[in-house]
Amino acid sequence: MPGNRNFTIRNCTRPISICYTTIMPASPFDLNLRHLRAVAAIARHASMSAAARAVNLSQPALTQGLAKLERQLGIALFHRHAAGMSATAEGERLARRAEAALAHLAAAARSVARGGRGFARPDLLMTAAQTRAFVALADAGSFVGAAAATGLSQPALHRAVRDLEQVSGVALVERRGRGVALTPAGRRLARGIRLAGAEIAAGIAEIRPDRGARSGRIVVGAMPLCRALLLPAAIAALMREAPDAAIDVVEGSRRELVEPLRDGVIDLMIGALRGEVAADLAQRPLFTDRLVVVARARHPLSLQHRPTLADLARYPWIIGRVGTPLRGLWEALFDGRALPAAPIECGSVMVIRGILRDSDCLTLLSPDQVALEVESGVLATIATPDDLPSRLIGVTTRADWRPTPLQARFLDLLDTERGLLGLQESE
């Protein structure tokens, strides 16, 4: 909501009281990229004149740009002194985020322009309007959809994409019927722009007057094993502390979530960890999940105290797809033996629970995923042998991800709620 806040800016003679009208940007690319570049330069050089030379702007233009940015954010980013400039605490936070955002943009632009006929540093010529339009097109898959999402006209969108292609020297989109698809270069640029936008958004969140662990936004990628107990408990705890926070939960498998994570669309991903992880990702273990064999209530095996592997192999199984961790653990359970029939491959716990109720199928699941059904007598735990495979559950992030205060608090609450739920710590 727009509002007025008073800030004191010091110059070489006396304090000057200035009233800024807060117009908090709705999108990270509502901020001018050149102005953000200037913030980083001023913080680095502690001088308007040196920063102006670094970003190739006149000093009056730089002064005006900084004033506009401070008006947009409703906060003073620098103290003015006779000897130069010094960043406020908010200015330091935004400068660090701006540096990271511009680094993402530069890296993506270099990878796109390499071998092309564009400029050597296309990122220096890109505007926030162009990047916003291009990401909207990438998300919508058509100029019509992008126009509806942004409120821009289709000619303006065409012009923005054409300008980006001109400075990059390569094609970024190609027509596919009534829509468009990104070229490989376009996908690389879109990822860099999204990561830059995520850093700018984090910077905006960190300098808000009500900043801290009580406001902001988190986008969580939720894999099946975290949805039953831990994730809902952590979200509920966060909402009690930060009722103004926005939390977006995106459900899916690791395969579906990992690229949005890399793109910066998702902040963190919770679920089964991998034994080996790519260099651009980082994993943080939470707890060890010990699987059980589940079937319908009154299944023939439910009367046996400790069914053997031979007993389990006599019934059909519902398993995950080839290459999924759960599939690998199921195969490990029968290591050295002929695998039982597995006519159904499915990764949806909801579907699996429905099939189990109406068949003699067996499956491997976490006890938390079927706790309500077992308690109500719909499903039953058939086997819980000590040597049954287990899997490590945790958080996956980008290796260079730096959480905002709200996101850091959410990570703390995951640890807290894990202890309250009695989940076994990772081994």
Structure confidence at residue 267 (pLDDT):
97
Structure confidence at residue 142 (pLDDT):
92
Structure confidence at residue 335 (pLDDT):
84
Structure confidence at residue 409 (pLDDT):
94
Structure confidence at residue 26 (pLDDT):
58
SS3 for the chain is CCEEEEEEEECCCCEEEEEEEECCCCCHHHCCHHHHHHHHHHHHHCCHHHHHHHHCCCHHHHHHHHHHHHHHHCCCCEEEECCEEEECHHHHHHHHHHHHHHHHHHHHHHHHHCCCCCCCCHHHCCCHHHHHHHHHHHHHCCHHHHHHHHCCCHHHHHHHHHHHHHHHCCCCEEEECCEEEECHHHHHHHHHHHHHHHHHHHHHHHHCCCCCCCCCEEEEEECHHHCCCHHHHHHHHHHHHCCCCEEEEEECCHHHHHHHHHHCCCCEEEEECCCCCCCCEEEEEEEEEECEEEEECCCHHHHCCCCCHHHHHCCCEEECCCCCHHHHHHHHHCCCCCCCCCCEECCCHHHHHHHHHCCCCEEEECHHHHHHHHHCCCEEEEECCCCCCEEEEEEEEECCCCCCHHHHHHHHHHHHHHHHHCCCECC
Q: Which domains, and CATH codes, for the chain?
A: 1-211 (1.10.10.10), 213-288+392-421 (3.40.190.10), 292-387 (3.40.190.10)
Structure confidence at residue 426 (pLDDT):
56
- Entry pTM: 0.79
Structure confidence at residue 348 (pLDDT):
84
Structure confidence at residue 22 (pLDDT):
41
**How confident is the prediction along the chain (427 residues), in pLDDT tens digits per residue?**
344 333 333 333 333 333 333 445 557 899 999 999 999 999 999 999 999 998 888 999 999 999 999 999 989 999 988 888 999 999 999 999 999 999 999 999 988 877 666 677 889 999 999 999 999 999 999 999 999 998 999 999 999 999 999 988 899 999 888 788 999 999 999 999 999 999 999 999 888 755 556 778 899 999 876 777 889 999 999 999 999 899 999 998 888 999 999 999 999 999 988 888 899 999 999 988 888 999 999 999 988 888 999 999 999 999 988 888 788 888 988 887 899 999 999 988 889 999 999 999 999 988 888 888 999 999 999 988 666 667 889 999 999 999 999 999 999 999 999 988 888 765 5
Structure confidence at residue 213 (pLDDT):
63
